[in-house]
A and B are shown apart, each in its own frame.
Chain A
Amino acid sequence: MLTKRIIPCLDIKDGRVVKGVKFIALRDAGDPADNAVVYDREGADEIVFLDITASSEHRSTLIDAVERTADAVFMPLTVGGGINELEDIKTLLRAGADKVSINTQAVLNPDFVKQASYRFGAQCIVVAIDAKRIPGPANGGKSGTWEVYIYGGRKATGIDAVEWSQKMEHAGAGEILLTSIDRDGTKSGYDIELTAEITKRVGIPVIASGGAGNMEHFYEGFVRGGADACLAASLFHFRELSIKELKEYLHNKGVAIRLV
């Protein structure tokens, strides 16, 4: 039986690991490859690197981090952030990434995901969707709609997140990495309504992200949200929760989990 995945995410700036709260206030905490080795030992099912380096001149530090990580751990590695051209994808895959996560460029260039999927295969193309809930009153009193944001959550696009996820599936995305901007960094739990809405509408795996604060939040993400994988960053990163402990908890609650 296919198991649900637990994915630690490392935010990377200039080749070093950081974690922001609501995309601001970064805290430096170490070397990406060293962190990956710890997560590998603890039984993480995959690792995600999110590059938040602003300028492209520091891109080589990311490539170096990806190479060193891929040399040290033998598990799937997804790398996202700043992917604007097909050549960026090729470079990352060559460096040892298994999948790349595309966010802003997917919105700016409607054909990009299609081209990337065609060239490299859907299995390595993850589309990251940063979604923000549209408040009821601003939306004619209707709740349950979310807007896609780009540029690290800074720019609204006017695109409906649910429709966007379906569009990206058709364009050839192999997976959706769904982050709730409202919940990111709050530790108040995943946006279950958003996660459930999108897992219901697409036939590709969905990773829930943004808001995990305790073990129950993961359970909710899988069981009520229908997520195929749950991602968290600071929670694992600052050792508030160990992956091993989390996986045992989920296993005991009847979730299909790989124990190592």
Chain B
Amino acid sequence: MTPGSPADRPSRVNGAALRRTGLLVAGAAFVLWAVASLTFFAIRLIPGDPAQAILGGPGSQASQEALDQVRRDYGLDQPLLVQYLAMLGRLVTGDLGTSYALKLPVADLLGAQLGGTLLLATLALALAWLLALGLAIWSTGRGRVASALGEGIEITSAALPHFWLAAVLIAVFSTGLGWLPPVATGTPSGLVLPVVTLAVPLAGFLAQVMRESLLDTMQQPFVVSARARGESALGVRLRHTIRHAALPAISLSGWALGWLLSGAVVVETIFAMPGLGRTLLQAVTLRDIPVVTGVVLLVALVYVLMTVLTDVVSRIADPRLRQEGAR
């Protein structure tokens, strides 16, 4: 059923694929380097002394001797360039440093937080995709009422702030009905509300994009011809149009991930879940530079992996891009 099966592809594709892989790896390394550098210098713009952050944070009574000692110990008395190179050197060896506030290795800290956030984001992304596809397929090309209703649901969902949606969900499903716990304590039931909170606005957004391409796709002759061959309306929808409808949404998934991580800051705070978002917020407040850098790098890494993944998926789904890559 896939147009442009492997046999159709030019033979140069293998060499090109190798080239592409090389470029991807180089690109990924570049992104990580740039993100680390950007964070390093951006954080230096924040008013506040890192040595203070190390010595008990704001409002501390640290003595001048203690401050000087810490500056020496952490190399903060060195020129900025030396500090920067030292940081890069540490990063290359996989050393993320030690948290200023918690005095623990950043890698250990983040390792403990990563799983929760990834689980939350992945489940939310999956649910958002399901909701969006369901809504788009159900409401597209079904006449004005369904269409208007679908659009209304999408726009409203996309316009819901996480913190407000969370409050309403807690009021209804925890306080009102007593079905789900308002604070996520690591149980599966505790994950439901956070995942829904994150997924619903994203689903509204994705559905919006999908509907547009779905509409375009459904007018196209191959769909018409499939209908003419006697396939059912639903069959056509499921087999031919989804892939095309999904295309722009797939390329949006990288965006969606960043979006979800930003949302995670709020959602993790409300549902009291451990995770990267909350860690990041606390680290920024406490000027805990190694932790901020660590979270950003980790997110960048996840993002880079996600990009490769969406790239591959897009290529499978859209032969136009595949051709471009092989050219």
Q: Tell whether A and B belong to one assembly.
A: no
Interface residues of B (CB under 8 A from A): none
